[in-house]
């Protein structure tokens, strides 16, 4: 339930940003919704694997934090000693298990899992990259470009389209996980309508 709540919060944030024409940021917030959807799908199909993957991810991240902490404070013996003790605890819990990436989770799902959209949102909106930076400029009609700082109203439809796509997928996976049979047909129809609008010229 907390996972789905996080997706709802991200959706609300995306819509509020889009309402203020902060379209790039609105689309960037959608990444969290897609990620929740992938995890909910895994929980619905293989709950034990999903719970183990979340546990592995927690210990793996903790180990990486401890390594970075020691790199920041190499001469502080007390900090290093305490860090090594904490890391040893997480290494023991991890027991050489490997984390499960979002890509691997998506590969277990049916076609049109949303992973392509997730990568598009990440590349063009979420991550700092040449693609995302190119999205913050527009032709000024004088043979050059103008950098966009602040509102970017022409990208609002695309941002909202991604947000709706992610939330519809996420809701379907949540309902499957909860074994709720009343809504998926309606959601499937709504999603087909959205995909049709996205494919329109």
Percentage of the chain exceeding pLDDT 90: 37
Q: Are 34 and 121 in contact (CB under 8 A)?
A: yes
Eight-class DSSP state of 49: H
Check residue 137 and give left, alpha or beta (phi > 0: left; psi -120 to 50: alpha). beta
Between 201 and 123, residue with greater pLDDT:
123
What residues contact residue 167 under an 8 Å CB cut-off, 6+ apart? 7, 8, 11, 33
Highest mean pLDDT among 29-33, 155-159, 178-182: 29-33
Q: Are 15 and 25 in contact (CB under 8 A)?
A: no
Nearest to 37 by CA among 193, 168, 158, 191: 168
Q: What is the pLDDT of residue 27?
A: 86
What are the tokens at 175? 């309902």
| Domain ranges for the chain | 1-44+110-201, 47-107
CA distances in angstroms from 175 to 37, 117, 140, listed in the order given: 11, 21, 47
Q: What is the pLDDT of residue 140?
A: 53
Over the stretch 46-92, which tens digit does the pLDDT of each residue have?
Answer: 989 999 999 999 999 999 999 999 999 999 999 999 999 999 999 99
Q: Which of 37-41, 69-73, 99-103, 175-179 is least confident? A: 175-179
Over the stretch 132-170, which tens digit does the pLDDT of each residue have?
Answer: 556 555 555 565 555 555 566 777 888 888 898 899 888
CA distance 45 to 12: 27
What are the tokens at 32? 């969290």
């Amino acid at each position: 339930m907390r996972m789905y709540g996080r997706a709802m919060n991200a959706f609300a944030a995306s819509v509020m940003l889009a309402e203020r024409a902060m379209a790039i940021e609105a689309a960037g917030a959608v990444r969290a919704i897609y990620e929740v959807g992938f995890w909910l799908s895994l929980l619905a199909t293989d709950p034990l694997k999903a719970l183990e993957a979340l546990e592995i991810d927690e210990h793996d991240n903790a180990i990486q934090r401890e390594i970075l902490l020691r790199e920041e404070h190499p001469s502080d013996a007390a900090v290093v000693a305490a860090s090594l003790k904490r890391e040893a605890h997480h290494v023991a819990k991890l027991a050489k298990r490997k984390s499960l990436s979002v890509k691997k989770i998506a590969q277990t799902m049916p076609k049109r899992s949303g992973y392509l959209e997730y990568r598009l949102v990440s590349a063009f909106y979420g991550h700092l990259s040449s693609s995302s930076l190119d999205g913050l400029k527009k032709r000024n009609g004088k043979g050059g470009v103008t950098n966009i700082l602040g509102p970017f109203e022409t990208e609002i439809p695309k941002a909202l389209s991604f947000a709706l796509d992610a939330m519809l997928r996420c809701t379907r996976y949540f309902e499957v996980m909860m074994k709720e049979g009343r809504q998926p047909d309606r959601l499937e129809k709504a999603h087909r309508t959205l995909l049709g609008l996205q494919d329109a010229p």
